[in-house]
Amino acid sequence: MDIFAKCFDPSMADQVRELGIYPYFHALESRQDTEVIMEGKRRIMLGSNNYLGLTTHPDVIEAGLEAIRQYGSGCSGSRFLNGTLQLHLELEKELADFLRKEAVVTFSTGFQSNLGIISAVVGRGDYVIMDRENHASLYDGCRLSFGKMLRFKHNDMEDLEQKLKSVPETAGCLIVTDGVFSMGGDIANLPEICRLAKKYGARVMVDDAHGLGVIGEGGRGTASFYGLEDEVDIYMGTFSKSLASLGGYMAASERVVDYVKHSSRPFIFSASITPASCATALAALRVLEAHPELPETLQHNALHMRKKLDEAHVRMRPSNGNMIPIIPIYTYEVIPTLTIAKELYDLGVYVNSSLPPATAPTECLLRTSLMATHTEALIDEAVEIIAEVLHRHQIGE
């Protein structure tokens, strides 16, 4: 049998292309901002993870340009060998200080961070216990490890405890959860997770890709939001969201970071973050430190948009974090979801479609996300368009 046969089988992508509602790979012709030019037309951007709007900040842009002038375009090697710049060490030190952890190590992408951390820490005979709605990169990190993966129902602490009870006392155990869940926009029950971890002798890792810059003191993330910075053993995060760049990181104790640096194959055998990406992430971190009001503005925007959607009788997925800038809107079935997303796009509002397997088959969503730099006027304009299209399709409360 030809291994490429699967590539020629009929697919959902083929079907939605034929219907003219294919939602992917729209080309940007401008900066990533609250309003963009996409395929020749102005669109209100409600589908970006640029939470603090720092991709266009002059200090961030200038830092990237200066790094290229000083260091060139790339490092051409692994951090393990010739690919460590003084800039990498600076970023790791400042980020560790900001997160109040002993040490940080950076990876080339956020996805790679999760592959590298979990595969290094979880060994043969160990267990890793995952929230079912964790990011795909966490699942792939588990697959790359030699440990046994167990899953607990989303934010269900009774189910988590049952899974912990099943772990042999002789086995190591890591509980892994998103801090802010990227699809639902809800927050992990970190206080109870940490309590159970302590009770059963497990360690805790939080993927805070969507928490950094969004919640917590000065945007320090989910553990800070709950006052549990000393209870979470590993923070993971990305530079591609609030920090307006590309790359990822792990923050933990100095010994754990050192172990991962010398054991993680995705870290050892990958080229380091480019000078421009490193410099822009560092500049964005400094902007966040200098402007701790940015996460508060972001949270205000989220509350404002939820209020406007509610007034317009648009049904959102329930969340335990109304201040989170990820606001999923129910559209239920796959084809109506893609049709609505296409109509919104044509009317000048860009949103993301959340489809199976990311959702249940009848619980499809439009995933909207906000920036601190959105104005209330832009939000109001977008909500009016969203409500008009949804009601035309008879989707409401």
Domains and CATH numbers, the chain: 9-45+292-392 (3.90.1150.10), 58-290 (3.40.640.10)
Active-site residue (options: 48, 113, 137, 182): 182
Residue 397 confidence (pLDDT): 58
Residue labelled with tokens 């380091």: 272
* C-alpha distance from residue 82 to each of 78, 154, 247, 272 (Å): 6, 42, 18, 9
Active-site residue (options: 210, 308, 342, 374): 210
Gap between the Cα atoms of 295 and 285, Å rounded: 13
241 carries an active-site annotation: yes
354 carries an active-site annotation: no
Closest of 216, 228, 183, 224 to residue 354, by C-alpha: 183
Q: What is the 3-state secondary structure (H, E, C) of 170-202?
A: CCCEEEEEECECCCCCCECCHHHHHHHHHHHCC
Active-site residue (options: 57, 241, 308, 374): 241
Nearest 5 degrees, angle CA 198-CA 201-CA 203? 80
210 carries an active-site annotation: yes
Written as tens digits, the pLDDT of the chain (397 aa) is 999 999 999 999 999 999 999 999 999 999 999 999 999 999 999 999 999 999 999 999 999 999 999 999 999 999 999 999 999 999 999 999 999 999 999 999 999 999 999 999 999 999 999 999 999 999 999 999 999 999 999 999 999 999 999 999 999 999 999 999 999 999 999 999 999 999 999 999 999 999 999 999 999 999 999 999 999 999 999 999 999 999 999 999 999 999 999 999 999 999 999 999 999 999 999 999 999 999 999 999 999 999 999 999 999 999 999 999 999 999 999 999 999 999 999 999 999 999 988 888 898 999 999 999 999 999 999 999 999 999 999 986 5
DSSP H helices, the chain, are 12-19, 58-71, 86-99, 110-121, 136-144, 157-165, 190-200, 222-226, 254-263, 265-268, 275-290, 293-311, 334-346, 376-392
